Structure formats: structure tokens, C-alpha cells
């Protein structure tokens, strides 16, 4: 079996600057925006309210987890609740019983039956093209009232 490389490439969740880091690193400094980047996978299984939760790793919100924050991660799995804007570069999986209240932007979305999703969504491989076609973000849709 091929041995997993000791280093991997990450993108800064704030400025998208790439860099190679050790797989064992828990956090690094972005060479572009000079902000701290968490590279570890996060698991939230309790109430957690923050301004932002940004990680270059994966985020998992457990069944008992409630996360109130602006969220950015490589991949996100939700079994509990997220309130706030969510952005991912990979898969966002809403499992049965998951609740997501806020806008969502991701290239891959999977929603299981029984999940709740309230907010604007731009998801899927063709989302960027659809958005480019309208030139407007999804919150400008016909069903939304002003204010």
C-alpha cells in the first residue's frame, strides 16, 4: 500500500492562498494574509457560539452539537445544527435530523431525508455557472421580500 505523504496542500479559508503543510500540523500561519489557519479536523458535539469557525480541515457537527458561527471548512458533515453562513470547498452532508439555518455555498451537497435547510443555497458543480448566468446571488430570488 502506498504510504500517505507527510505533507499536503491546503488553501487558506480566508484568502485562498495555497501552501504545503505537514499532516500533523494543527495550525499554521497563512503566508498571504498572515492569519492563523486551523488545519485540524474539528468535531463539535455541544453548544458552541463563535464569530467564525474556519478550518482547512473537515468539520463535523454531531447530533448534540449546535454551532452558531460563520463556517468555512473543506468538508462539512452535519448531524446537529448550524446557524450562520456556511461555505465549503468540498462536500456538505446534511444527515437525517440535521438543521442548517443560513446561506450555503458548496460544490457538492447531499441532503438526507429528515434534514432541515432554511436559507439561500448555491450548491453543486453547476452552481457557479447558474450564478454567473443571472449575475445575482441566490438571495435575490423571487420568493424573498425586501428587508
Partner 1 sequence: MADNLSAGPGVTVIGADCSFKGEATFEGSMKVEGKFEGKIQSKGKLSVGKAAQVSADVTAGQVHLEGSFKGNLSAMERIELAASAHVHGDIRAPKLVVAEGATFVGNCHVSPDALKAGAQGSEFVVPMAATPIKK
Q: Nearest-CA neighbor of 86 among 114, 124, 59, 65? A: 59
Cβ 48 to partner 1 shortest distance, Å: 17
Cβ 129 to partner 1 shortest distance, Å: 8
Cβ 107 to partner 1 shortest distance, Å: 6
Beta carbon nearer to partner 1, 42 or 71: 71
Q: Nearest-CA neighbor of 19 among 54, 52, 56? A: 56
Q: How many Å is the Cα radius of gyration of the chain?
A: 16
Cβ 125 to partner 1 shortest distance, Å: 6
Contacts with partner 1, residue ranges (CB under 8 A) = 16, 70, 72, 83-87, 89, 91, 101-128, 130-131, 134, 137-139, 141-145
Cβ 133 to partner 1 shortest distance, Å: 8
Beta carbon nearer to partner 1, 21 or 91: 91
**How many other C-beta atoms are found inside a 10 Å radius of the C-beta of residue 14?**
15
Beta carbon nearer to partner 1, 11 or 25: 11
**How many other C-beta atoms are found inside a 10 Å radius of the C-beta of residue 19?**
17
Beta carbon nearer to partner 1, 4 or 129: 129
Handedness of CA 33, 41, 25, 21 (dihedral sign): negative
Q: Each residue of 92-114: b (16+ CB within 10 Å) or e? A: bbbbeebbbebbbbbbebebeee
* CA atoms of 15 and 55, how far apart (whole Å): 12
Beta carbon nearer to partner 1, 60 or 75: 75
Amino acid at each position: 500500500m502506498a504510504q500517505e505523504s507527510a505533507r499536503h496542500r491546503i488553501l487558506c479559508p480566508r484568502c485562498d492562498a495555497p501552501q504545503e503543510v505537514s499532516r500533523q500540523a494543527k495550525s499554521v500561519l497563512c503566508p498571504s494574509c498572515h492569519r492563523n489557519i486551523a488545519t485540524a479536523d474539528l468535531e463539535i458535539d455541544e453548544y458552541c457560539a463563535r464569530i467564525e469557525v474556519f478550518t482547512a480541515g473537515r468539520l463535523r457537527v454531531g447530533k448534540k452539537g449546535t454551532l452558531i458561527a460563520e463556517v468555512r471548512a473543506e468538508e462539512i458533515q452535519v448531524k446537529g445544527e448550524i446557524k450562520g453562513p456556511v461555505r465549503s470547498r468540498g462536500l456538505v452532508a446534511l444527515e437525517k435530523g440535521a438543521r442548517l439555518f443560513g446561506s450555503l455555498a458548496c460544490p457538492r451537497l447531499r441532503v438526507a431525508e429528515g434534514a432541515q435547510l432554511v436559507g439561500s443555497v448555491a450548491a453543486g458543480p453547476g452552481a457557479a455557472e447558474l450564478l454567473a448566468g443571472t449575475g445575482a446571488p441566490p438571495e435575490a430570488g423571487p420568493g424573498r421580500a425586501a428587508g
